[in-house]
């Protein structure tokens, strides 16, 4: 019974901060790379950030570089996205994604959490 459950979304003013969490259930979290994607209204889903299994390598989209920080805590089976200096353009549904340790493995998506940046 695999689940990825995002939380922490909400309404925030421009310049504000939010911290998203992605709690994983039903698979060996520490063996999966984790990523965040987002999808704004009327737009394609886009990559935000990814973190390796041990947390030693993190990659960000240019649009969030310097403002967002991804992390993970394998002891808690949870990945995080700290979002600072939020802009209206960051408004989107944010999705958690898990990448398997083998090419034959299945990927998993969360249901998403809404982030709205507005005055």
What are the pLDDT tens digits along the chain (119 aa)? Answer: 999 999 999 999 999 999 999 999 999 999 999 999 999 999 999 999 999 999 999 999 999 999 999 999 999 999 999 999 999 999 999 999 999 999 999 999 999 999 999 99
- Total residue count of the chain as it appears in this document: 119
3-state secondary structure of 111: coil
Nearest to 9 by CA among 107, 76, 96: 96
- The encoded tokens of residue 70 equal 């991804």
pLDDT at site 18: 98
Nearest to 22 by CA among 90, 87, 111, 106: 111
């Amino acid at each position: 019974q695999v689940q990825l459950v995002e939380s922490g979304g909400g309404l925030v003013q421009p310049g504000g901060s939010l911290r998203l969490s992605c709690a994983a259930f039903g698979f060996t979290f520490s063996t999966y790379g984790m990523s965040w994607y987002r999808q704004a209204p009327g737009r394609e889903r886009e990559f935000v950030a990814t973190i390796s299994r041990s947390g030693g390598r993190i990659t960000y989209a240019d649009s969030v570089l310097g403002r967002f920080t991804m992390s993970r805590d394998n002891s808690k089976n949870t990945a995080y996205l700290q979002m600072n200096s939020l802009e209206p353009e960051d408004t989107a549904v944010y999705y958690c994604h898990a990448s398997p340790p083998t090419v034959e493995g299945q990927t998993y998506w969360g249901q998403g959490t809404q982030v709205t940046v507005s005055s």
